Amino acid sequence: MIAAAAPVQRPRDARLLVINAQGELRHAARAAWIDCLRTGDLVVANDAATLPASLHGTHLPSGAPIEVRLAGRASLAPGDVSFSAVVFGAGDWRMRTEARPAPPPLAYGDRIALGPLRAAVQGELGHPRLVALRFEGDAAAVWAGIASHGRPIQYAYMQQPLALWDVWTPIAAVPVAFEAPSAGFTLDWRSLARLRTRAIAFATVTLAAGISSTGDPALDARLPLDEPYRIPAPTAAAILKAKAGGGRVVAIGTTVVRALEHSRGVAGLGMADQRIGGGTRLRVVDAMLSGTHEPQESHYQLLRAFQDDATLARASAALEARGYRTHEFGDSVLIEAALHDGNKLLPGRSKAVTQGR
């Protein structure tokens, strides 16, 4: 596929590959994605705003340049300013992550200067480039420092530096994501109004979307890292209502699938630490609108919970043949879960459950 290299959230010519429950493929304009939904369906999006999580600075013990990419947090609490972070040596986003020099060796207690911020290494998290960091100062000073000094995490296929407004979805609320929940870029306010007109419900979850690539195969294999999330009570209620009425739950992006499947659609706080892949039975989500993911990406594994490998291979070939654009500003896929007997905890999509009543 072709890398989408310009930060346009809703390109007029954005395309959509629809993979229906039977595994049939259809090409459409992404602007028409709502036409693929039915009255009574529920659309669920991730309303996390994105932190400028890339912080450049200096490893104070060695004086060596370092880039810290904040990658995880134990909770969504405003006062929690301890992070896990992926560290890089010299260079910036213009260099492919695979080609980036390693950071200086980091030891427990090493201090790092990141613009106005100071952080201390609290230990390695199973890989020399994944560390626990604690910032000095109170939470307000840490957020102010991140807001002023941080830049959005971005990759070498982009043409220009990203601004924060490039990576905030229109519904971005609390800044807890480390990379944009980019499937939400498609949700402008007109489309939300259109959902309402068609009696399709809309709800949100908040999940601290982590980073999508580190350039290190061993570290990439650990992605996604654990992600804290919150399911609001009205969202849980909307899921029950949609299921009871035979509507489908349509997740906007992989992060929503993670949150809804981990929580089983129950309200509250949680930590999405599961792997979703070919062996996963989806219990809440019936369909997902997502970017176009390539087989080597961590996100691709999640698609295998929706459709079998043969169907996904056909979809990949179709995306390639038609020149779909990939990455966060690229084209989209709407994928419905294949129908399996007893695939669902809740009644709704599964014909088996409906027929069993």
Partner 1 sequence: MNSLKVAITGGTSGLGLALVREFRRRGAHVAFVARSPHAVEQIARLHQAHGIVGDVAHKEAIHPIALQITAALGGLDVLVNNASSLGPVPPALLADTACEELALALETNLLGPFRLTKALLGALTASAREERGAVVLNISSDAAVNAYAQWGAYGASKAALRHLSAIWNEELRADGVRFLSLDPGDMDTPLHALAVPQADAATLKRPETAARELVEAVEAALAKAHA
Give me the residues that bind partner 1 (CB under 8 A), please.
47, 49, 51-52, 76-78, 139-140, 143-144, 146-148, 163-165, 168-175, 189, 192-193, 196, 203-204, 232-234
Sheet strands side by side (includes 249-252):
25-29, 15-19, 332-336, 287-291, 249-252, 42-46, 201-207, 227-231, 268-272
Distance CA 129, CA 111 (A): 15
Q: Cβ of residue 89: shortest distance to partner 1, in angstroms?
A: 27
The residues, any chain, with a CB within 8 Å of residue 190's CB and separated by 6 or more, are none
Which DSSP letter does residue 151 get? B
Q: Cβ of residue 251: shortest distance to partner 1, in angstroms?
A: 17
Between 20 and 75, whose beta carbon lies closer to partner 1? 75
Are 236 and 23 in contact by the 8 Å Cβ rule? The answer is no
Between 46 and 290, whose beta carbon lies closer to partner 1? 46
Of 190, 247, 214, the C-alpha closest to 89 is 214
Between 168 and 306, whose beta carbon lies closer to partner 1? 168
Between 232 and 278, whose beta carbon lies closer to partner 1? 232
For residue 170, say if its preceding peptide bond is cis, omega within 30 degrees of 0. Answer: no
Q: Cβ of residue 78: shortest distance to partner 1, in angstroms?
A: 5
Distance CA 114, CA 166 (A): 23
Distance CA 161, CA 157 (A): 11
Between 111 and 196, whose beta carbon lies closer to partner 1? 196
Q: Cβ of residue 287: shortest distance to partner 1, in angstroms?
A: 21
Backbone angles phi, psi at 170, to 5 degrees: -55, -25
Q: Cβ of residue 340: shortest distance to partner 1, in angstroms?
A: 32
Q: Cβ of residue 164: shortest distance to partner 1, in angstroms?
A: 4
Between 59 and 69, whose beta carbon lies closer to partner 1? 69
Between 162 and 219, whose beta carbon lies closer to partner 1? 162
Bridge partners of 175, per DSSP, are 49
Q: Cβ of residue 131: shortest distance to partner 1, in angstroms?
A: 22
Distance CA 325, CA 100 (A): 25
Q: Cβ of residue 232: shortest distance to partner 1, in angstroms?
A: 5
Between 189 and 355, whose beta carbon lies closer to partner 1? 189
Are 76 and 49 in contact by the 8 Å Cβ rule? The answer is no
| Cβ-based burial of 248 (10 A; exposed 0-12, middle 13-18, buried ≥19) | buried
